[in-house]
Structure 1
Amino acid sequence: MPKPVMGRTNPKVDFFFEKASPWQESFRALRQIILDTPLTEDLKWGVPCYTLEGKNVVLIHGFKDYCAVLFHKGALLKDPQGVLITQTENVQAARQIRFTALREIHGMESLLKAYIREAIEVEASGQKVAYKKPSEFALPEELIAKLENVPGLQDAFESLTPGRQRAYILYFSAPKQSKTRTSRIETYTQAILQGKGLDD
C-alpha cells in the first residue's frame, strides 16, 4: 500500500472548507495542521475525516458555539493537558478538543499535533476501546415495560448483537420526554422482533 503524501488534500472534501460558516477560517487552519501528518483526508458523515490505512483517527466538525477536532479513540489518549472533552455522557470512545476562536487553534498548534501523533500511534498499535456491555446501561422504563408486555420481545432483544443492543438503548434513552421515548420504541419493536438493528 503506497504511503499517503503529507499535505495532500482530497477534492471531494473541498466543499466543506469553502462553504460559508462562522468557523471557515478555523476549519482551514485545522485542515493544514492535520495534513502535516501522515493521515489521509477523506469525507465521512459529511465532514472531513482523517484516516490511517482506512481506519478513522480524527475528524473536523463544527457546532453553534465551537468547532472541534474529534479523536475517534480519544478515550485511549493520555491527555496530560486535560483538554479532551466527552461530547455527551453516553459517548465512550471519542473525545474532542474544542475551539471558539482561530487564535486558540494557532496557540494550541504544537499541542494539537502532539495529540494527533499519539492518536496515530494508538491506531497503528491496534488498541481497542473497551466498550460497556449493554447490561451496564440503564434501560429506560418504557423499554422495560415493552420487553415485559410483548411476547418474545425480551428474547429477541437479548439475541441481538451487543452493538445493536447498545445502539437501541442509547437511541431510546436520548429523548427527555417519555412519550418520545415510547414512540421510538413502538417504531422499532417489529425490527427487534425480526432481529434487526437500528440501521438495518
Structure 2
Amino acid sequence: MTKNVKWADELALVKKIIEKTGLTRTTKWDADVYTWNGKNIVSCGGFKDYFALWFYDGVFLKDTRKMLVNAQTGKTKALRQWRFASADEIDETLILDYINEAIQNAQEGKTWAPQKGDPLEIPETLERALRNDQKLKNAFGNLTEYKQKEYAEYIESARREETKQSRLEKIIPMILNGIGLNDRYKKNPLPDDHKKQGRKR
C-alpha cells in the first residue's frame, strides 16, 4: 500500500501484528490485502482523521468489544472497519483475537453473498460512462453480477473524483474484454493509482 505519511508508523505496527497470523499479503485496490486461501480477510490504511483495519466479512465477527463500524450504513453489507486515532489505541492481543476469528469464519465458509433481488448499486462515475457508450454498457451487462459488483466497489471506494476517473479509464479495456477485476490481479496486477499520485483517495 502507498505509504501514508501521517500514519506511517502506526500502520507499520498494525501490519506487523497482522503478519503474525500467517495470512498471505497481496496488493489490491491500492492496499495491502491479507488473504487466507485466496480469500480476502483483512486490510488496513490511513485516512485524514484516523487509520483503520477493515474486515471484508466483518459482519460475521462477534465484535464483543464493539470496536467495529459500518463505514457506509445502508450500502456496505459485509465490510466492517476498526478505526484508531493514535498508536495508543493499538491493542495487539485484541487485534489478533479479531483477525483469528475472521480466519476461522473463512475456514468455516462464512462469507457474505449478495441476496437475490438486491439491486446492484452503480456509482455515478461508472453509470455515466455506461450511458455514454453502448458498447461498454453491453459488455458490462454481459459480466457476471459478481464481476459487476467488484468493478462498482472499485470505483466507489475511491474518495476523490479524480481517482474514480483514473480507475474508470483503467478498467474500461478490461470490461470490454470480459475480464473481471480480480482475473487481472491473478496474472498482471492492475497498475496502482498511488504509484503516480500517492494516497489521494
| TM-score bracket for the superposition, by shorter chain length | 0.5 to 0.7
Unaligned runs of 5+ in 1: 1-12, 176-183
Structure 2: distance between partners of 1:158 and 1:47: 28
2:104 is the alignment partner of 1:121: yes
Q: Which is worse superposed, 23-32 or 160-169?
A: 160-169
- CA distances 1:116-153 after superposition (whole Å, capped 9, x unpaired): 11011011112221324464357799x7xx99xx99x9
For structure 2, which runs of at least 5 residues remain unmatched after alignment?
Answer: 160-167, 185-201
Q: Is the 8 A contact 1:85 1:96 kept in 2?
A: yes
Among candidates 85, 92, 98, match of residue 77 of structure 2: 92
The question of 1:26 aligning with 2:36 is answered no
TM-score (norm 1): 0.61
Residues 60-82 of structure 1 show CA distances to partners (whole Å, capped at 9, x for unaligned) of 21111111111121111111222
| Partners of 1:41 and 1:48 within 8 A in 2 | no
Partners of 2:34 and 2:42 within 8 A in 1? yes
Pair 159,119 (structure 1): closer, same or farther in 2 beyond 3 Å: same
CA 1:55/1:159 → structure 2, altered by over 3 Å: closer, same or farther? closer
1:55 to 5, 22, 39: 39
Relative to 1, partners in 2 of residues 1:166 and 1:56: Cα closer, same or farther, differing over 3 Å? Answer: closer
Does the 8 A contact of 2:4 with 2:46 survive in 1? Answer: no
- Which amino acid in structure 1 is aligned with residue 107 of structure 2? A
Q: Distance in 2 between matches of 1:84 and 1:33?
A: 18
Cα distance change on mapping 1:197 and 1:69 into 2, 3 Å: same
The answer (yes or no) to whether the contact 1:47–1:61 under 8 Å persists in 2 is: yes
Give the percent of matched residue pairs that are identical in Structure 1 and Structure 2: 32
1:97 CA drift (Å): 0.6
Q: What is the identity, as a one-letter code, of the residue corresponding to 1:121?
A: Q
Aligned to 1:3: none
Q: 2:63: which partner in 1?
A: 79
Instruction: Give the partner amino acid of 1:63.
Output: F
More relative contact order in 1 or in 2 (CA 8 Å, sep 6+)?
A: 2
For 1:127 and 1:104, the matched residues in 2 are separated by 28
- SS in structure 1 of the partner of residue 54 of structure 2: strand
* Whole-angstrom distance in 2 between the partners of 1:55 and 1:80: 24
Deviation at 1:26, TM superposition (A): 0.8
Matches within 5 A, 1:181-200: 196=178
Residue type of the partner of 2:58? Answer: G
Aligned length: 173
User: How far apart in 2 are the matches of 1:78 and 1:133?
Assistant: 25
Q: Do the aligned partners of residues 71 and 154 (structure 1) sit closer, same or farther apart at CA in structure 2, a change above 3 Å counting?
A: closer
Aligned residue type for 1:74: G
Cα-Cα RMSD = 4.3
Contact (CA 8 Å) 1:160, 1:195: kept in 2 or not? Answer: no
